[in-house]
Amino acid sequence: MAEDLEGQRARHHAEWQQRLERAHDDAERAAHQYQAVEPEHRLVARTLEQQWEAALRGCRQK
């Protein structure tokens, strides 16, 4: 019984860790895209900034 609980805990921890890593990767990707936009492309930059902020919120929620 204790081994089952420990195994389940380990699986949940690994799953949570993967979700956190994905959220972090999403935030880094969004930051890179935002920073790569030329200033004259303001509309694109605003959209990418919103995506970046959403990805950062996802990191904080995980």
| pLDDT (0 to 100) of residue 58 | 84
| pLDDT (0 to 100) of residue 18 | 92
Round to whole Å and give the CA distance between 33 and 44. 10
Which tens digits make up the pLDDT trace of 39-50?
Answer: 788 788 888 889
| pLDDT (0 to 100) of residue 13 | 92
Q: What is the 3-state secondary structure (H, E, C) of 1-62?
A: CHHHHHHHHHHHHHHHHHHHHHHHHHHHHHHHHHHHCCCCCHHHHHHHHHHHHHHHHHHHHC
Round to whole Å and give the CA distance between 50 and 47. 5
- State if pTM tops 0.75: no
11 neighbors 39 (Cβ within 8 angstroms): no
Which tens digits make up the pLDDT trace of 2-11?
Answer: 788 888 999 9
